Amino acid sequence: RGEIMGVVRPSLTVLLPSSEEQDQGNVALVCLANRGFPEGALVSWEVDGLEVSQGVVTSPEEEKEGLYRRSSTLTLSKAGWEQGELYTCRVSHFQHTQASPFHRSQCLV
């Protein structure tokens, strides 16, 4: 018999660019939504409070051990990266939204 499982919110992790990457042509920000249930997590990006879609690639959801994960990458030119200050990855999953904001200055060494 099957188990009935409630909604499990995915964990949210943002991978920030290294200082070496920031010195090169493009900067990639990666957001991971991991171990949610059921499927249906939506990932979006904001720069300085405005939603962006250009340069965003989001993977299909993958199932592992009955839970779902997906990743989203925001790729910016070095100039575009330097224009923004507040970057936010937002994951909406059913009626719950999680956000992981960070400041570009946090990435400067």
26-35: per-residue pLDDT in tens?
A: 999 999 999 9
| pLDDT bracket for residue 3 (50, 70, 90) | low
Structural domain contains residue 4: no
Q: What is the pTM of this model?
A: 0.89
68-78: per-residue pLDDT in tens?
A: 999 999 999 99
Structural domain contains residue 72: yes
* CB < 8 Å & 24+ apart, contacts of 39-43: 39/63, 39/68, 40/93, 40/94, 41/10, 41/68, 41/70, 41/91, 41/92, 41/93, 42/91, 42/92, 42/93, 43/70, 43/71, 43/72, 43/89, 43/90, 43/91
Structural domain contains residue 17: yes
CATH of the domain at 62: 2.60.40.10
Total number of domains in the chain:
1
Residues of the domain holding 55: 11-101
Structural domain contains residue 5: no
Structural domain contains residue 6: no
